[in-house]
Structure 1
Amino acid sequence: MDPNFSYNFPALRGKQAEKEYFVVMCPLKLIPKIFLFDEEEVPPQYRSQRILNKSRVPDITNYIVDQSKDYVFSSLTASIDGEIQFTPFTDEPNFKDLGKLSIALDSRFLINDGQHRRAAIEEALKIMPELGNETISVVFFHDEGLERSQQIFSDLNRHAVNTTSSIGILYDHRDQLSLLTKEIVEEIPLLKRYTEMEKTSLSKNSPKLLALNHIYNANKRLINKKKGALLTEEDAFNIKTFWLTLCNSIHEWEQVFNKEISPRDLRMISIAGQGLFIEAAAEVARSLIEQKPDTWTAYLTKFKDIDWSRSNEKDWKGRAFNENGRILKNNYTIRLTAIRIKSLIGIKLTKEEKDFDQQRSSMNV
């Protein structure tokens, strides 16, 4: 193969299922030039995976640009339809799989895994062209006619399991709200003992009271900011004060901490053991901070006087749980529950809140 009419990469050669594959380091500036989008313009017979979700690209692009000194990407996986040639650098048996991969310039490249990263890299290079000489590892499979591309995509994703949002929060050392959430969990004894740090939902028999993502979502709702936003000192103070006050104002939580009742039993008899409850509480606290900045914590302490039990259908049926007693956590039920809590602690409702609450009887919760 003429090196003047080919792409040439230092490469490692491997073998899976009796077929060779190659791992190369590819400059970022080359990624948009050689890889086809697996999009509508690619004929269906060559389309190897789902259509690009363009809404995901800006977030990944911002990640590259904002963390240009600290970003991390896993390998792209691609198929090559064209002539290739691998030339070992040496004949030594231990190094025979280290060499140069030459790929004909007229070859077709198709990404099997990593199309959103590819699109984000292209957008990031428009903003920061200096990133072009940095590299990303690419795993190449030789696939003449691109007949195996769809199967490669299927095989790569068959056993893939997304990490839970709780794990994402636990391992995130960049997002300020994640850091603050973990700090609060570590500092407050009840949360430290009874927070599930990995799973996003609690099983019926879980010994934990809340999941880390429940606490994080409540914090986002409290300060009304998105993931990745910068926090002010006031934000941090309000979040810490909210949790300290709340943990001292829920009698059922004190019973759990004192081992008078198990988290399992609490979930069965009370809405106070649900993620819906703490997000509704955060919604209430946010309103209180806006309307009564000097006395908002005093209103939170009134939570002690509220009957959170599921048997209290007057307050929670059609709001926190449906006709069958099932709790459904969504923005609609969270808002309905927050509105009811406001009434119970003596906060005057707006006309909009009154109308919203009155509509619940005609809605399916």
Structure 2
Amino acid sequence: MAIQIPVVKGKTLSTEYWLGSLSFSAISKYVKLPENTDWDEVFGGKGEQEAQRKLNKARVNNEIVPYLLKSDDAFFSSLALILVPASGNPLKEGPDFKFIPITPDSKIGILEIDESIDMFPADGQHRTAAIIDALKQDRARMTSQEVPVVLLAYVDKDRLRQHFSDLNLNAKPVSQSMGYAFESRDPIVIITKRIMKDVALFDKRVNELSNSLARKSPDVITMGTLVQAHHILLEAIYGPKYKDAEEIASLRQLDPNEDRVGTVAEKLGDVWEVVVDNLPEWDRLMNGNVSARELREGDEAKNTTGYVFAFGLGWQAIATAAAALIKDERDDWSEDLAHCLRAVDWQKGGHWHGIAMVGDRVNNTGPGIKATAGYILRKGGLVAGPGEVGALVNAAPQDPS
């Protein structure tokens, strides 16, 4: 029995395609993920160059599937599906598919596809995997949901690879910070938007356009970095399942100015208050006595080198150190954090080598963040041992100086 899909026929240069939509049920039935061994031969044989990157299952399970299951207004951009005959031969009109226009010359009609045809996701494998998993978790609700699709004919292996290259190399996703700036569902982002107004240092000084700060940027942090720091801190405050905590989950789609958002934001604001109060350079910036650029890059005329805390690594390392103190249920975590922050020589230099810096460059990586967090705690006199604080201190490299 043929699959029948209402479509619009189109053409870009020599490439013909059909625009339509498929139900989640049809996606689950007819689309095979790239990890399926049936594609080995299409890709060029097992062990040869593959036409698709590996599926990031953590991203699918932790981000995309919950987005589908929890959002009444969730929407996916179109999947690009290649129609591939089981024989591996080029798709042929007649035995493999038929386009039936509503009128003789119309581009609108019904695309009939033989059931033996497989669909390969040249673009959208993670969305496809999420659709399949969401269907398993809530079949009653998800079966009839639809996703837009672009259908392309399989010609040969080289053309399939070229389609994959075209769709992925030419796609330029927006920065994480810009994505967060437009996000209105995610409670953590909503809380972050409240913090951006409530904390004086962040007010009008958070970059919402890019994932990193340009050398001359007047901003002190990117929105992406601030959101990540809040994930770290909220996990410490509410536990590993912090996203499901009622106080946080109930903030979904609320206006950041709502009182309930402020209640949670205040707990994060307490952390940032300690940070700002104990790194006096931030006061100097807010008073107009120094620029954000100078805090990061230094000033040759003043013989200053800049400060590690002013970089994304510094923000996340401080958040990680604060989170460790909170997780260890220290009643005086704020005093401990303040003492640690004051004990560190934050100026860039050789004492940061192998911790926060490689040569004269701040090393903004996961291991660098963890090493810097442990270093902050160690300089504050905290010692290795059990618990979150002890683990970080134990893992931190010794002071090179």
The TM-score with structure 2 as length reference comes to 0.76
Q: Report the equivalent of 2:193.
A: 182
Q: Percent identity?
A: 24
* Residue 89 in structure 1 maps to residue 124 in structure 2: no
Q: Is the 8 A contact 1:52 1:116 kept in 2?
A: no
Match of 1:242 among 271, 280, 302: 271
* Residue 229 in structure 1 maps to residue 265 in structure 2: no
* Residue 329 in structure 1 maps to residue 356 in structure 2: no
Could you list the runs of 5+ residues in structure 2 that have no partner in the other structure?
Answer: 44-49, 84-90, 249-262, 298-305
Distance 1:139 1:150 in 2: 16
Q: CA deviation at 1:255?
A: 1.5
Q: Report the equivalent of 1:112.
A: 122
Q: Report the equivalent of 1:125.
A: 135
Distance 2:240 2:207 in 1: 22
* Residue 192 in structure 1 maps to residue 219 in structure 2: no
Distance 2:334 2:397 in 1: 29
Matches within 5 A, 1:190-339: 190-224=201-235, 229-231=243-245, 232=247, 236-268=265-297, 269-290=306-327, 294-302=331-339, 305-306=342-343, 308-310=345-347, 316-322=352-358, 324-339=359-374
Letter of the aligned partner of 1:33 in structure 2? Answer: K
The TM-score with structure 1 as length reference comes to 0.83
Q: CA deviation at 1:155?
A: 1.0
Q: CA deviation at 1:143?
A: 2.8
Letter of the aligned partner of 2:243 in structure 1? Answer: A
SS at match of 1:23: strand
Q: Is the 8 A contact 1:73 1:136 kept in 2?
A: yes
Match of 2:68 among 59, 64, 67: 64
- CA RMSD between the two structures: 3.2
Q: Is the 8 A contact 2:385 2:394 kept in 1?
A: no
Distance 1:227 1:58 in 2: 15
Q: Is the 8 A contact 1:251 1:304 kept in 2?
A: no
Distance 1:229 1:272 in 2: 28
Q: CA deviation at 1:22?
A: 0.8
| Cα 1:293/1:309, change in 2 over 3 Å | closer
Could you list the runs of 5+ residues in structure 1 that have no partner in the other structure?
Answer: none
Aligned residues: 352
Distance 2:19 2:25 in 1: 18
Deviation track 1:17-69 (CA, whole Å, cap 9, x = no partner) reads: 144311112122111222233335235452373154152432333332233x2
Q: Is the 8 A contact 2:230 2:268 kept in 1?
A: yes
| Cα 1:348/1:128, change in 2 over 3 Å | closer
Q: Report the equivalent of 1:33.
A: 29
| Cα 1:289/1:76, change in 2 over 3 Å | closer
Letter of the aligned partner of 1:79 in structure 2? Answer: I
Distance 2:135 2:397 in 1: 50
Q: Is the 8 A contact 1:339 1:349 kept in 2?
A: no
Q: CA deviation at 1:165?
A: 2.3
Deviates more, 1:245-254 or 1:230-239: 230-239
Q: CA deviation at 1:360?
A: 2.1
* Residue 7 in structure 1 maps to residue 3 in structure 2: yes
Q: Report the equivalent of 1:74.
A: 77
Distance 1:334 1:37 in 2: 35
Distance 2:395 2:51 in 1: 46
| Cα 1:340/1:143, change in 2 over 3 Å | closer
| Cα 1:128/1:89, change in 2 over 3 Å | same
| Cα 1:221/1:109, change in 2 over 3 Å | closer
Distance 2:196 2:164 in 1: 40
Q: CA deviation at 1:12?
A: 0.8
| Cα 1:188/1:113, change in 2 over 3 Å | same
| Cα 1:50/1:99, change in 2 over 3 Å | same
Q: CA deviation at 1:195?
A: 1.4
| Cα 1:206/1:140, change in 2 over 3 Å | same
